[in-house]
Structure formats: structure tokens, C-alpha cells
Chain A
Amino acid sequence: MERNYYREGFENFLKEKSDEYKLYPSEKVWNNINQKLHPRRKWPFLAAALLLLGIGVGTKIMIDDWNSPVLSSLENKATPTDLYEELNNTTEPPASVDSKKASGLSIAVINDDRIHVGDSRNLQKAELSPVREPENSNNNSILQADGLVTKNLNNNLIVGDQTTDQIQAKVVPFSAPAPENDKIIDEKIEQKKENPISATIETIITGIGKVKKKTSWQMYMSPTVSYRKLVGQASKSNYSYSGFAYSANLGFPTDVNDAVTHKPSVGIELGTAFLYPVSKNFRLKAGLQLNLNNYQVEAYSYIPEIAPFGAGNFTQPINTVSYYRNFNGFDRTWLKNSHFMISVPLGVELTVIGNKRVAFNIASTIQPTYVINNQAYLVSTNLKNYAQEPSLYRKWNLNAGGEAFMSINTGSVKWVVGPQIRYQILSSYKEKYPIKEHLIDYGFKIGVTKIIK
């Protein structure tokens, strides 16, 4: 010990002993390195959105199949229009359906000028009369199934017999319309007795348009927490952090993520949208939305310096004066970067599960976006300074949004609440700036939806 110390000098002694010392890192260090070098999920947001949508659609299909295993082939004939056409075109014997499976499904009761669509369970046995041959019915005997058509005392033809175990009827599943819908249909048909069938079809189509496809209007707001994803390397030709040659700078951060310290801030999203129902559980969505995105970057005030922002192309240098350093300035400060945007969300909404009162839904949108105001400090391409450089701000952008929410119907309006995420697909800055920034907003949406009458 003494020999070593006095013979080789203090520095050599320290170096020798320091080099002898070894420490073994924990396993998580390698795991983190490996994950960083070989990321398994390149598009986590896209994958998550697709997964969410896939699960939703799959669940929906499974639920529907489970509810209607036998009659699934008739799913598309779920409206009174389809029902009418189906009845009108029938030339073959009606299907034989087990009464248990048919329970709760609708049957058609037809006379010369009326179509009634309703739940078979609502029919009264008293209305039924023994089976008789229908009278000459050029316009009211639509079904041609011998022995299957009954007639009540009011001269109405009734298709099917709910009192037997085997209902021999043309049975079509559908969602029973509200009583007032029946009334609308009936009134329309009454007005066109001259040509009952064609008039009825037209009336029903018109009626369905009014009854089923009601557009909804939604207003919403979301407090958000805004993050950003940075991608990029320091430009080699601009890289002059210290006075060393480039080879001596190897240890300084060249990846922007290693050089920048930032933290999220609170933002907000306000919007309105129209929802158009394509089917019972599937809606198209279009709207207008305002976004305020904030985050902060750590910097140090410093004397004015020239900061490079180009991609190393010295023929067209982009330099600006910076008053902030990324490292080693005078006073530490947090620079606030703010983006104010307007966008047009276009997308779809899907009800995954639930009833008329409470339901779980998912939605995704693509959002062409215009940046109204950008107050952002960019890190210079040598990663040394921060400055504002408006010529590099991108005005038009594209965002993707995804959300999962609960809808609660209170009668006059429907409330929606749930988490959402918004990801900026294109960089906040133009291509000539080598560092790419993708904004990410995590929010909690609160909205109210009202059907437009």
C-alpha cells in the first residue's frame, strides 16, 4: 500500500484503485437499455386505438349473435320498410320458428289500408278468430300461405298464431318503434288510399328517415395534460457544444431526449360535434374543436448567443439570437411552450355495450388541424440553446384522437364522460428542422348530447 502510494504517485494510486473497483448493475438497467434499443411497439397509440376499436366491434358482433342466433340472416330487415317489403314479396311458405325464440319479436297485422308493426306479445287472443280463408283480397291479402293467415272480427288479417308452440308466421326481428311512430306511419298511409302499396312504401321510408336517423348535437370540454414526444439527433455539422473536436464530444447528448428536460402542463379542449346514426350502435361524427396545449422546458437565462436551427445546411443557415441556454446558464427557468389550435374531428362512435340509459362507447377521430398561435421555444440543433423561431412552425397539422366513454341518458339530454387521448401525427415544426415534436394530450371528456328534433 505504502509502496504503491509513494512509488507511483498519488494520481496513479487513485487510478489503480479506482479501476480495481467493480460494481454490478441491477437487471433493470439492461432491460431498460434493451427496450430502448429494440422497442416492441413502434405505433403504440395507433395499435391501442385499433385494439380498442377491434374489441368493441368484436364484442358487438358477439352480443348480437348471442341475442339472435336463428334469425341473424334477417338482421338487415329490421325496419318497418323492410318488413313491409319482405311481406309483400313473399311467395314461399313462411319460416317455421320456435315460439320461444320468436318470443318478443314482431309480427305484422295487415288489412286493406293499414300496416301495424308491433310486439307479438301485445296482441290479444280475443282478436283472433278461427282460421278462415281470406276473402278476395287483391290489395290486402299479401301473404299467400294457406292456413297460416288468420282474420279477426274487424276484418284484419293476422299473420301467425302466437297461441301455438310453433308460430307459423313471417317473423321479422326488429326494434319496436315507439307508438307515436306507428301513428305517423298510419296517418301518412291514410292520406294515400288511391295507391296504397306504393304510397305506403314511400310513407314508411319518409317516416323512418324522420324517426330513426336523428342527428345529435354534442358539446364537450376536456381538461388535458399535455406531453410531447421528441425524435431527433443533434446536427453533426452544427454540433459544437464544447471547443473539442467532434470525437471528443461523443459523450455529450446527441439524442435530443438526453439533452432536454421538460414537464407537462394543463391544457384544455373545447368542441362541438354532430353525430349521425348509421345504425343503432354506430354513429358518424364531425365537428369543430379548439385545443390549447401547454408544456414547459427547463432552461437557463444567459447572455445573447447565436443559436443554429438548420439541419446542418450551411448554404441556408437558420440562426437566431437566444437568451436561454439548455445547460449552464445563470438562472434556471421554465419556459412555457403553448400551442393554440382549431381542428375538425371526423370519425366514428361505437356503442359497445349498454342499454338506452347507460352505455359504454368508444370513438376515434382524425383531426385536420390549423395552428392559430404557437408560442414555443425550440432547442437549437446543437442542443445548446432555446429560442423562438416562427419560420419553423408548422401551420397545418393532423391529429388522431381516441376515447372511451360512458353515456348516461337523462331523458332530454345524454351526458358523456370518459378518458381520451390526442396524438399529433406530424411534427410541430417544418421538415428542415431536424428535431421532430409530436404533442400528446391526455384528457377527461365531459360532454352533453341532445337529439336535434
Chain B
Amino acid sequence: MLQGCIKNDASAQQELYHLYSPKMLSVCYRYAKNREDAEDMLQEGFIKVFMQIRQFQNRGALEGWIRKIMVHTCINSLKKNKKFSESVDIIYANSIHVREDAIPSILQAKQVVECIRMLPMGYKTVLNLYAIEGYSHKEIGDMLDIEESTSRSQYTRAKAMLEDILIRKRIIPIPKEKPSWISSVKVN
């Protein structure tokens, strides 16, 4: 399959696409505003994957390599939006409103992802990059053109906000010592 993709063979490319596109779309979906934007990012990302696949050279896992391209494509797409640049610079996001009945209490992957997507753009991006993709704060700072310390504080706030949402939605249990920041989330 990989050799076929290197030779620009359409059927091999299709095979690779069908193998990885569901996972990669969920990656894009966590960064995007909506499903449509996520599909645009996925499309752009896979075009890059096929055009640069010669550079892969079997170093490490193919999925990891594709995922890296997808994440960078998403970040790049977000950076074209001025609102995104503003949002990553705002350290203190306003409190958000969470409807308690919006998400069923049964824990599923989809609900966790939807909770992540409820975060403000800057928080969500930093949290995705740090907690899920495993980038360091220095790398995130370089990628988003922000200070490393900004990334760190963005993440702390994002994590707190997400935990609060997950607790409110009864997706995770209330910790024994309730952090002070939980009150920042208003529940309707």
C-alpha cells in the first residue's frame, strides 16, 4: 500500500485513505468549528500526506506521521482566522454556560470529544495539542506563535474548565477536594 502511494497509485491511495480517514477526521473535528470545516481540513491534510509520502521512509508509525500532518494542517487552517490568533492570546477566558442535559451521562468517547469542543478556541487548541497529541509547551508556543508560558497557563485553565464540564455532565466523578475554579462554570 505504501509503495503504491509512493508510485501515486490511486487504488493504494484510496486504501490508505479509507484506513485512516475515520480516525483523522475525529482529530480534525476536535480542532474545527464544525463538521464541514473538519472535512476541509481532512481533505487538505490527506493531499499533503500523499504529496509528501516519499519523505516518510518507514521511520516510525505511519499513523503517527499522518496524524502529525493532520494536526499541523488544522493549526495552519485555524491560524488563517484572525479570531483564532486573538483567542490563543486570551489567557482568561470568560466562563461558559453548560446545559446539564446537553450530554447524556453515559460516558462515551463522543461525549468527551464534544465536551472538549465546548471549550473556547484557544483553550481547546492548547489542550488538544498538549494532552492528546503530546506536544510540549515549547513546541506549542512555536506552532501557535505564542509564549511557552502562555501555552502553559492556557492549558491549566483549559484543563480546569474541561474537568468542570465533565463533572457537571457527570462524565467524571467529583473529586474529594473540589478545586476553587469549578465555580467559574455556570450551569443552566
Contact = CB atoms under 8 A, between A and B. Distances in A.
A314 interface: no
B120 to A, nearest CB: 17
Interface in B6-24: 8, 10, 13-14, 17-18, 21-23
A332 interface: yes
B142 A29 contact: no
A434 to B, nearest CB: 16
A29 B131 contact: no
B121 interface: no
B179 interface: no
A2 interface: yes
A38 interface: yes
A14 interface: yes
A180 interface: no
Contacts of B38: 23
Interface in A2-42: 2, 5, 10-11, 13-15, 17-26, 28-30, 32-34, 36-38
Contact of B52 (A14, A36, A37, A250): A250
A20 B171 CA distance: 16
A411 interface: no
Contacts of A248: 68, 139
Interface stretch (A68-76, A147-155, A252-260, A413-421): A252-260
Nearest to A5: B172
Given A14-B132, A25-B39, A251 B13 contact: no
Interface in A283-308: 298
Given A25-B42, A251-B48, A1 B107 contact: yes
Interface residues of A, number: 45
A18 B139 contact: no
Contacts of B17: 30, 33
Given A250-B69, A251-B48, A261-B80, A14 B22 contact: no
A67 interface: no
Interface residues of B, number: 61
B145 interface: yes
Contact of A251 (B69, B80, B159, B162): B69
Contact of A254 (B13, B25, B52): B52
B142 A251 contact: no
Contact of A17 (B42, B109, B142): B109
B157 interface: no
A2 B173 contact: yes
Contact of A38 (B10, B39, B73, B82): B10
Interface string B143-172: 101000000000000010011000000011
A146 to B, nearest CB: 76
Contacts of A22: 22-23, 25-26
A19 B23 contact: yes
B126 interface: no
Nearest to B166: A5
A34 B142 contact: no
A330 to B, nearest CB: 9
B51 interface: yes
A66 interface: no
Given A10-B163, A33-B43, A37-B10, A251 B21 contact: no
A243 interface: yes
Contacts of A327: 76, 79-80
Contact of B132 (A1, A18, A30): A18
B22 A10 contact: no
A375 interface: no
Interface in B103-133: 107, 109-110, 112-113, 116, 127, 130-132
Nearest to A236: B55
A34 B10 contact: yes
A23 B10 contact: no
A288 B9 CA distance: 47
Given A19-B23, A23-B29, A14 B112 contact: yes
A175 interface: no
Interface string B25-41: 11001100001001100
A252 to B, nearest CB: 6
Contacts of B75: 251
Contacts of A37: 8, 10, 13, 47, 50-51
B87 interface: no
B131 A2 contact: no
A1 B172 contact: yes
12 contacts: A1-B171, A1-B172, A15-B134, A17-B107, A17-B109, A22-B22, A29-B21, A37-B13, A37-B47, A37-B50, A244-B139, A259-B76
Ranked nearest first, the 7 interchain pairs of A and B with the lowest CB-CB distance are: A251-B72, A20-B109, A21-B109, A22-B22, A17-B112, A23-B25, A11-B131
Given A17-B112, A33-B46, A244-B139, 10 more contacts: A10-B163, A14-B112, A15-B134, A22-B25, A25-B21, A34-B10, A37-B8, A37-B13, A38-B10, A327-B80
Interface of A: 1-2, 5, 10-11, 13-15, 17-26, 28-30, 32-34, 36-38, 242-244, 248-255, 258-259, 261, 298, 327-328, 332
